[in-house]
Amino acid sequence: MAISTAERDEHQDVLTLVEAFLADGEYMATLLSAFLRRWFKAIGRRKPLPLPTEFLLELSAVIRIAMWQRSAVIAERLPDFPPSEELLDELITRLFREPASFSCDPSSCPAPLHKQVVSWWSRNCSWSAAPLLGADILVGAIDKDALLDALAAVLWRHRDLTKKGRMNDEERTVDLSTPEYERFRD
């Protein structure tokens, strides 16, 4: 039986979605790994600490919320997540005081933070931006010409990136107060 064009397009959409989620998962795992290395160094731990999977998922959600809360554009549209610092403190306290809480039956546990974050991210952000650009990009109804102009400006500003290597945090930050980004502010 032959596959119709619509079915082929639907299959391609599913593959695109799965590829995007896998790439984003790898991106978040890299950020999580860097965070854990810094944390272990700060507390003087030389050996890796075995951590529950649910804790790692929640920690990656806190890291993503922290990135969003530091983004001028995304922070304005975020749901009411507590400050990432509070979330991190609560998560680490929970790890040491109630480690079994990370392995409870899903039917009796509150909705994990990581599910709320993935849900919001999948509805509001570009699925492929973070792994490619190192930052989430908010999507929605937008003037395509204005978006392309802004993207061209960012690419031009960072045109020599391949000569320098990876961007540091300062270079990754875009000053949204400049006139070229004015049309994207609410």
Q: How far is CA 183 from CA 65, 144, 149, 173, 176, in A?
A: 25, 12, 11, 18, 10
2-19 confidence digits (pLDDT tens)? 666 666 667 777 888 889
Supply 122's token pair: 């999948």
Q: Tell me the angle at which helices 84-97 and 53-69 cross, rounded to the nearest 10 degrees.
A: 170
pTM: 0.68
Task: Sort 124 into a burial class: Cβ within 10 Å, 0-12 / 13-18 / 19+.
Answer: middle
Q: Where are the domains of the chain?
A: 5-134, 141-186
What does the mean pLDDT of the chain come to?
80
Which tens digits make up the pLDDT trace of 24-41? 999 999 999 999 999 889
Q: What integer pLDDT is reported at residue 186 of this predicted model?
A: 47
Please name every residue paired with 138 in a beta bridge, in sequence order, or none if there are none.
125
CA-based end-to-end distance of the chain: 50
pLDDT digits (tens, 9 = 90+) for 95-140: 989 888 888 666 666 668 999 998 888 888 888 888 888 888 888 7
Within a 13 Å sphere around the CA of 73, how many CA atoms are in the beta-carbon half?
18
